[in-house]
């Protein structure tokens, strides 16, 4: 039953006081128990899991796998690490759990960014990072991830691209993160994504991100000199230049003007926000 699964997972997590390499060996048990639990049933037991100290143990499991990755080992059993990340993702849906899981963020960023994991691990990591980026209080570590998120827009499959956009959408609501978005190397698809033919789920999020960023630039009077130096691309390649360069700015205005008549209400709204800020 779901109750037995969660209780078993709780017992394994809470009683585990061994060294990290032993924790990894036992991770399959936790993964099987919590991942096999229906999310609606799991939510009923989340308070018990949290109060019993299970969430730091999930962080320890993830950190152990991360350590193996950082010393040059490839992920031998992606299903195991996917399960650990899935557990974290499920628990992170509850905002009360997020402060106990924030220490997972650097490890999740590593898994989302490295080429030593397959796409399933990257996608699972991005899903967890999406839930943990709802609260702007935890955004600071994400500055390291911004460039990779933009690269996923150019090279990721649809699912990875969509999840990257969801993370970027959360980050774009934070005025403190906008300069970091502007400092990153612009995705090559920055303008092409603004086509009326782009899949609706992608286009809604991309127009929302750009509307948030451009609104913040206007409200705060940001310029090229406002961009942080950490993780900054060469000036001609930054997202700021891609948005506000003389040639690209005119193309951007034309693109969003067309989208102001899009059939989707949300896309029309976000395109109109962009157009108003640029004119």
pLDDT tens per residue across span 165-182: 999 999 999 999 999 999
Q: Provide the pLDDT confidence category of residue 22 given band limits of 50, 70 and 90.
A: very low
Q: What is the chain's length?
A: 279
Domain boundary assignment for the chain: 1-132, 149-279
Please give the residue that has the higher pLDDT: either 44 or 128: 128
Half-sphere exposure of 278 toward its Cβ, with a 13 Å CA cutoff?
25
Tokens standing for 181?
A: 């978005």
Q: What is the pLDDT of residue 58?
A: 80
Distance CA 148, CA 231 (A): 11
pLDDT tens per residue across span 33-69: 555 555 555 555 666 676 667 777 788 888 877 777 7
178, 222 in Cβ contact below 8 A? Answer: yes
Mean pLDDT over 232-237 rounds to 94
Mean pLDDT over 127-148 rounds to 96
HEC string for 171-219:
HHCCCCCHHHHHHCECCCCCCHHHCCCCCHHHHHHHHHHHHHHHHHHHH
Share of the chain above pLDDT 70, in %: 78
Q: What is the pLDDT of residue 52?
A: 64
Distance CA 73, CA 67 (A): 9
Q: What is the pLDDT of residue 35?
A: 52
């Amino acid at each position: 039953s779901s109750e037995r699964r969660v209780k078993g997972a709780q017992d394994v997590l809470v009683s585990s006081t061994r060294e990290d390499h032993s924790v990894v060996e036992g991770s399959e048990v936790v993964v099987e128990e919590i991942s096999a639990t229906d999310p609606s049933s799991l939510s009923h037991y989340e308070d018990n899991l949290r109060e019993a100290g299970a969430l730091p143990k999930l962080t320890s499991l993830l950190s152990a796998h991360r350590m193996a990755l950082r010393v040059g080992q490839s992920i031998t059993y992606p299903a195991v690490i996917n399960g650990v990340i899935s557990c974290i993702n499920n628990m992170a849906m509850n905002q009360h759990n997020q402060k106990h899981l924030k220490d997972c963020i650097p490890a999740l960023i590593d898994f989302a960014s490295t080429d030593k994991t397959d796409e399933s691990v990257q996608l699972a990591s991005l899903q967890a990072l999406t839930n943990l980026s709802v609260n702007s209080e935890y955004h600071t570590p994400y500055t390291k991830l911004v460039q990779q998120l933009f690269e996923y827009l150019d090279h990721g499959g649809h699912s990875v691209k969509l999840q990257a956009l969801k993370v970027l959408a959360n980050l774009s609501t934070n005025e403190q993160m906008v300069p970091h978005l502007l400092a990153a190397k612009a995705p090559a698809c920055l303008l092409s994504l603004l086509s009326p033919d782009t899949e609706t789920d992608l286009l809604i999020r991309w127009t929302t991100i750009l509307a948030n960023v451009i609104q913040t630039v206007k409200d705060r009077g940001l310029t090229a000199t406002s961009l942080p130096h950490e993780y900054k691309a060469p000036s001609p390649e930054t997202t700021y230049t891609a948005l506000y360069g003389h040639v690209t700015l005119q193309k951007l205005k034309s693109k969003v003007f067309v989208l102001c008549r899009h059939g989707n209400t949300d896309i029309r709204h976000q395109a109109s926000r962009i157009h108003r800020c640029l004119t």
